[in-house]
Every structure is written in C-alpha cells, then in structure tokens.
Amino acid sequence: MAGPRTGRDKVRPKWLIPLIASASLALIVILGSLIISGQNKGVQPEGVLEETSTLDPDLRERVENLLEVADVHMLVGRMLEPPGSSAYDAYQQVLVMHQHNKQANQGLQRLGDQIEERVREAIQTGKLEAGRKLLDKALDALPRHQGLIELQKEL
C-alpha cells in the first residue's frame, strides 16, 4: 500500500523539537535574569550574602538581637536619626560583626525604599526643602541605593 498512514500525515523534522526546547530554555533564562537584576537595586548579589545561621551561637544571638532592634527602630520611624540609635546604625553594627549578613543588607534596602517614599510624599505635599534634606541624608548613608539615586536625578 502506497499512501500516507493514519496519524503520520504531518511529519516533523527530527531537529524541530530540540530547537523549540532550547529556544524556550534560552528565553526563560534571559527573562529570569532580567527580572532578578531589576529586583536587586543596590543590594549585594544573593551568592555573597549569608544567613545568621552560619555563625557561632554567641555571635548569632548578638546579631539577631541587633536585627530586632533595627526592626523596632524602623517601626517607630527612627530610620537615620538619632545618630547611634537608628535602624541604619543597628544594621551597620550587624555588618561590622557579620560583613555579608543577608538580613542586614535587605534591611538597608528596605530602609532606603521607605526613605524614598517619604521624600516623594514630602515633595508631593509641597515640602520640597524637607524632602531634599532627607534625600541628602539618605544618600550620605546609602549612596548606592538606586531608588534614591534616581530620585536625586529627578529633582
């Protein structure tokens, strides 16, 4: 019998499925890296940051206590001031004890994000000078925070 068999009317080349699979994988990798790079504004790459669980118990306890202090400072609005008793200072103390601490670096990122929001609010409510002063203090403390850098360019 000469003629096409049932179900085999459309014959695909053997190279088509691997080509589609590899193109899809490449697209996923590219999109994933773009998404990840956009989320890490001013923060060290994840591979460099470490959890407190890698520390010896005494140091871990001190670091975790300071991280809690920093969280409390953030809750009550002591982000950069008063000097020595602010969220920024607590996170910096953690980084002195544990240089690549993941929670402290993430906390500094959140700190910059919240200050950026406050500066924008000040500007929108007509308090331009107060907004600029806060932005200047924030950039002194967090000079690599992308949101603050962009905000400075806008002003």
φ, ψ (nearest 5 deg) of residue 50: -125, 150
pLDDT at 17: 75
Distance of CA 130 to the CA centre of its chain: 26
pLDDT given for residue 93 in this prediction: 96
The whole-number pLDDT of residue 68 equals: 95
pLDDT at 35: 57
The residues of the chain scoring below 50 in pLDDT are 37, 39-47
Length reported for the chain? 155
Res 13: pLDDT: 74
Q: How far apart are CA 152 and CA 155, in angstroms?
A: 5
Amino acid, res. 82: P
